[in-house]
Structure 1
Amino acid sequence: GVRGGAAAEWCSKHFHTKLLPRLSAHITYWSDAAVRDLLGSILEELDSQLLQQPGCCWEGVSVAVALAMGGRLAVATLGSIRALLMLPDGSRQVLGEAHHAGNASELQRFEAVGGESLVPPAEGGPEGNQSLGPPLPLGKRVARPREWEALEGQSTEAEVNRILIGTSDAFATLCLEPGDDATFADSKA
């Protein structure tokens, strides 16, 4: 969470209570657009309800949702988070977009709903000025980082890639056992 963990805890307890009833109410094929709309509406509803919660309305949370449906995988990200898909051949694929002011399409979306960027993207590059460290979040003020958080000047994706490249077993590094499937992962949760 941002500025505390209450918002993250609240969202983790309430997301599935909204998702599962809606998924089970619709027993036919879910189109990609319907899945996108479903996840978007749930995140908007959680955001609205979170603002009403005492003790966590001033906090924030980043969300990554991966929904496996048959042979399809839908991923939704919101905030300062990315999803990384590990393929059987050992390669990786980043899923989702960067939600910060250095991403031109995200900056345009943010400004269209009345937001104001703290720092405009640097001239000559769609990813902004990365030489100054991690990209700044969208918003009117910068929250002071916690002193225990390491600011290494690289993106989360770069840090995860560095860790996974340095290991001989990516699944062990991610605390998965070979052959883990969704039902086994669910039983661990």
Structure 2
Amino acid sequence: MPDIRCCPPPLPTVQPEVSIFLSGDGRRVWCFTTGFYPRSIEVNLVRDGLVLDESRSHGTLPNHDGTFQQRRWAHVEPGDTAPLSCRVEHPGLSEPLEVFLVRKSGSNVMTIVLVLVILVLVVAAVVGGVIYWKKKKQGRSGGETVEGRPIRSPPPHPPRPMPLNLPPNYDTQPPPDPRLF
């Protein structure tokens, strides 16, 4: 009688799902392959058509559903613009799969910020211009009116001179004798 407790039947061949991305600081490129079966897989990071020999991995690890995953990474220069890709060979693929990194341009963020700043400045200028125009129009028509006559506010009082604390007969007294001092 055969022993049926051994192992579940093997899964059919399942091709991997592949993702490639840069770390937040742009210093590492990551290739993530998951959901493949059988376990055997070849994953390489490629820069400008050449395999990066210095890439690293923790090996092939199991997923909860019986498939496998592998993460591979390598250090890159943050400003490097050479094409980066992840090349995968697996029995579930009829030919090697190469997925290229699509870089997000940081200048798009700067463009959006610049457009928003300019928009805020234009709106502020328009609002300021409308307020200025209304005040100027109000001043030309004489301001508010009562029965067709302008209401004018009295002119402001001229500033009063500050009194000097001088003796009452200052301008009629002779200067003090310098020899006394």
TM-score normalized with structure 2 length? 0.20
Structure possessing the higher radius of gyration over alpha carbons: 2
Structure number with the higher helix fraction is: 1
The answer to which structure, 1 or 2, has the higher relative contact order (CA under 8 A, 6+ apart) is: 2
Structure number with the higher strand fraction is: 2
TM-score normalized with structure 1 length? 0.20
